[in-house]
Amino acid sequence: MTNTKLKAFLVFAILMFGPFVQSYADSIQGEKKGRVLITTDSPNSLNIGDKVFATDAGGAKKALIEIDRVKGTKAFGVVKKGKVSKGMNIVKGNASGSSSKRQKVSRSNRSSESASGKSLPFTIGALLGLGLDSMQVKLTDAAGNAVETLNMSGTGFSIKGMADYNLTSYLGLRVLAGLENFTVQASAASAVCDGSTACQTDISFITFDGWLRYAFIDTGTKFWIGAGMGLWMPASKSTNALDETSIDTSYAIYLGGGADIPGGEDIYIPVQAEYTMLPSSTQVTASTIAIRAGIGYRF
């Protein structure tokens, strides 16, 4: 075969079979309760609202799927008709509701669009928390002499409003605001807590927190790790182990992670665990380990 004929054959082959190769590059990686996970050959090759076909090895159409969520090279959809199985190929067609004639999609996928065209969903919600609080205090007597170091611990509760904003498919912001209770107690060897051996500290803080979150796994449930900072302002305080005048507005540093678990069409369940470091002094160090869970609503 001459070079001219070879070139002509390659051009013919690309024109004839190229569209099919591209169409079959997308495939189903998993299915559960009528929802499917699709991997695509390139980011955003599928769009929210697209209706595509699942085909078997012979190319026969076996199911109709509507795409309702896109994350880079992953797309999630609902089986509208037929049955699917892992490994089936995905092809685009002129199904009603494709990108040219899309049906109205659920509010869970409404989003504003960035200049790059990536979806930036916004969600709000609330979290309830349980904190395992700890504080170490170096106690002194009336003359200022060191008496003992007291390790105090206790359990506090919290309630916070939440707002999430996704910067990219894997990076997002979480903002929290609410009430955080810090409670610790312990028994001292001598009566140095206002004349008592029963030492306690109970402080309610109004907090404003900001987190930067990185999603390292997203298969419907999004698993993430992150870090953040918070502003803690005392709303009420009661203590016989500390000087009350020393309890003032302070900051906190957070390290933690969690998961956003799908709970319905527009709802998800945020769960997170975090370690909080509070400012320390020569006499006092404090920290808490918190577990939070709640509900989020997508716009």
Domains of the chain listed by start with CATH number: 3-105 (2.40.10.170), 120-298 (2.40.160.20)
- Calculate the alpha carbon distances from 13 to 5, 8, 266 in Å: 12, 9, 45
pLDDT at residue 22, as a whole number: 39
Can you give the pLDDT at residue 94? 54
The pLDDT score that the predictor gives to residue 43 is 73
Flag whether pLDDT at 209 surpasses 60.
yes
How far is CA 227 from its chain centroid?
12
Question: Residue 113: which pLDDT band, with cuts at 50, 70 and 90?
Answer: very low
Residue among 91, 96, 57, 63 nearest 78 (CA): 63
pLDDT band at 14 (very low <50, low <70, confident <90, very high): very low
Query: Per residue in 237-277, pLDDT tens?
Result: 999 999 888 899 999 999 999 999 988 778 899 999 999 99
Q: Per-residue confidence at 198, pLDDT binned at 50, 70, 90?
A: very high
pLDDT given for residue 169 in this prediction: 80
Which DSSP string do the residues of 253-270 spell out, in sequence order? EEEEEEEEEE-SSSEEEE
The stretch 279-297 carries a mean pLDDT of 94
pTM of the model: 0.62
Question: How many alpha carbons fall within 13 Å on the CB side of residue 212?
Answer: 3
DSSP 8-state symbol, 12: H
More confident residue, 183 or 107: 183
Identify the weakest region by mean pLDDT among 48-62, 126-140, 203-217, 247-261. 48-62
Range of 22-31, 126-135, 184-193 with top mean pLDDT:
126-135
Q: Is the dihedral of CA 98, 101, 106, 110 positive or negative?
A: positive
